[in-house]
Amino acid sequence: MEMGAGRPPRLELCGITKRFPGVVANDSVDLTVRPGEIHALLGENGAGKSTLVKILYGVLRPDAGEIRFEGRPVVIRSPHDARRLGIGMVFQHFTLFEALDVAENIALGLEWWPGRRELARRLAQLAERYGLELDLARTVHDLSAGERQRIEILRCLLQEPKLLVLDEPTSVLTPQEADRLFVTLRRLAAEGRSILYISHRLEEVVELCHRATVLRAGRVVATVDPRAETPASLARLMVGDDVREPERRHPDLEAAPVRLRAHALSLPPDRPHAVALEEISLELRAGEILGIAGVAGNGQRELVEALAGERLLPQAGMLELMGEPVGRLGPAARRRLGLAVLPEERLGHAAVGAMDLVDNTLLTAWPQPGMVRHGTIRRRQVAALAATVVERFRVRTPGLEVPAAALSGGNLQRFVVGREIAQKPKVLVVDQPTWGVDAGAAAAIHRALVALAEEGAAVLLVSQDLDEILRFCDRVAVLYRGRLSAPMPVGEVTLERLGLLMGGAGFGTVRAETVS
C-alpha cells in the first residue's frame, strides 16, 4: 500500500511563487509530503530551497500560491502559526545559549512552561522513546555537536509536530552520530510523522529518504524515488549536467620540501568557551593535501587563527612557514611569505557583507603584484581578478558591484574560496571549503584544490566532511579538544576509525557520547 494511502497529504504546496528584486526565488513550486514520509528537498545553492522553507515556517510570505496542511488551506504568518499547525524546524545553525544548561535551552524554545519537574519527566519519556538521552543539568558549551542537535530535536518533539523540517542535519556530526540520527528519524516516520529533509549529502538521501523533490533555478524539475537513484544521478538533476569530481593521485611526498611546520604549538583560550590548543605538531609538504577532521568546536577555529597569525604564538619557533619562524608574525607578514587562509565564517570573517566583490577581492589580494602601486589601489587590476574568480568558479551574481551580503551562502563560498586559490599561494589553509554548498560548487572547489596541490602548493584542509577528506587528502589527522592525532595515510584509515577518534578514542580519555 502506498505511504499515507487513505489520508490527505500532510503538506501540499501549490504554485508557490516568491519574487525578490531581480530574481524569482520560487517559481510556481508544487510539493507534496505524505504522512510517515521522509521527503528530501534538493537543489543547488540559490535554487530556492531556503526561501521555500522560510515560507513554510512563516518567516516569509509567498507572492502567489496556496499552502494546504492536512487537506485544508492555511495561511502561515509567523513561526508561531507554523508551530500551532504542527510544523517543527531544526535549523542548520543551532539556536542555543552556550552558558545555559540543557533544560534552560529547551524551556526558552517553548511557548508554555510546564515546570522543571514536568519538563524533565516529559523529556525523559521522549529520550527513551527515540534514543535521544541527555543530562538536563549539563551546560551546552560542554556538549558535542550530536548532543546539541538532540536538544533542538527534543525541543521540537515536545510540541508534538506532525511535520519536522531538518536543514543540513548531519553537517557537524560524526558518522556514528549521523547513524543514530537516522534511527531516530525512521522511528518518527514509522509513527506517521512527516519529515522534510534538506541536505547536500546525496549518499544519505539515497539511504534515508522515500521521495525527493529537486529544485533548479526556483522551479521543480523532478520528483523521484531516491532509492532508485544514485548520488551522481541526483546531482545531475540538481545541476542539469554531469558533476565531474577530480581524481586525486597521491604523490610521493618523501622528497618534497616542508612548507609549514608546527612544533608543539600550544595556545591558551582567549575567550569564554574557546578551546586551548595543546602540543600540536605537524608537517605539511609541497604538493600535499593534509586533512584535519573533527567534530565542530574541538579547536578548528583556534588552530586556523593560530596558523593565520590572527593570534600570535608564545614562541616564534612554534610555527615555521617556508622555513622561517613566523609564530610572532601577523597575517600580512605571513601572506607575503606565501600563506593564504580561508576561515570557516564566510560572511563577516572571510568577506565584508557591505563591501562589493571588487573590494572584497582587495582585502586579501592587495599584496599580489599589480594590485597596489605607490600606495594607490589599481582598481582595474583588482576588478580583473574578481571577474576571473566569478567566471572560473561560476559565482552567480548580477555584477561585481553588488555587496557580498547579497550573494547566497553557496555563491559567496564559491567566491571566497576562488579568491584565495586565484592568488596561487604556496600554502593554503582552508576551513570547511564546501560546507553548505551544492554538488556542482563542491566539485569545482575540489578540482581547484587538487590542481593547486598538483602545481606544488601545500594545502591544509580542515573539514567535517569525512568523504571529502578521504577522497582528496593524502594524509589525515583528527583534532579533539585541542589535541591533534598523528597524521595517517588515507589508505590506512576507515570511516569507523575516524569516527572513533573524533569521539575521543585514542586521546587518553574517551568522553561518553550520551549521558542517561
Whether the predicted pLDDT of 1 surpasses 90: no
- For residues 475 and 124, the model is more confident at 475
Q: From CA 77, how far away is CA 492, in angstroms rounded? A: 53
Domains of the chain: which residue ranges? 11-239, 257-338+425-508, 347-423
Q: From CA 83, how far away is CA 228, in angstroms rounded? A: 33
Superfamily of the domain at 11-239: P-loop containing nucleotide triphosphate hydrolases (3.40.50.300)
Q: What is the pLDDT of residue 516?
A: 28
Residue 152 pLDDT class (50, 70, 90 cuts): confident
Whether the predicted pLDDT of 386 surpasses 90: yes
- For residues 436 and 83, the model is more confident at 83
Q: Torsion over CA of 38, 183, 149 and 437, rounded to 10 degrees? A: -50
Residue 5 pLDDT class (50, 70, 90 cuts): low
Tell me the average pLDDT across 379-388: 94
DSSP state of 15: E
pLDDT one-digit tens code per residue, 456-503: 999 999 998 888 898 899 999 999 999 999 999 998 988 888 888 988
Residue 161, Cβ neighbours under 10 Å: how many?
21
Residue 312 pLDDT class (50, 70, 90 cuts): very high
Q: Cβ neighbours of residue 449 under 8 Å, at least 6 residues apart? A: 289, 421, 428, 430, 433, 459, 461, 472
Q: What is the mean pLDDT of the chain?
A: 88
pLDDT one-digit tens code per residue, 219-229: 999 999 999 99
Q: What is the pLDDT of residue 145?
A: 67
Whether the predicted pLDDT of 511 surpasses 50: no
Please give the helix or strand (H or E) that residue 328 lies within, else none: none
Tell me the average pLDDT across 442-450: 89
The alpha carbon dihedral of 274, 110, 164, 24 has a sign of negative
The residue to which cell 520560487 is assigned: 26
Query: Highest mean pLDDT range out of 68-77, 106-115, 240-249?
Result: 68-77
On the question of a common fold for 11-239 and 257-338+425-508, the answer reads yes
**Surface-to-core class of residue 244, CB atoms within 10 Å of its CB (0-12 exposed, 13-18 middle, 19+ buried):** exposed
Please give the helix or strand (H or E) that residue 325 lies within, else none: strand 324-325
User: Full-prediction pTM beyond 0.85?
Assistant: no
**Surface-to-core class of residue 87, CB atoms within 10 Å of its CB (0-12 exposed, 13-18 middle, 19+ buried):** buried
One CATH from 3.40.50.300, 3.20.20.70, 3.40.190.10, 3.40.640.10 for 257-338+425-508: 3.40.50.300
Exposure letters 60-75 (e unless 16+ CB within 10 A, then b): bebeebebbbbeeebe
Q: What is the pLDDT of residue 270?
A: 85
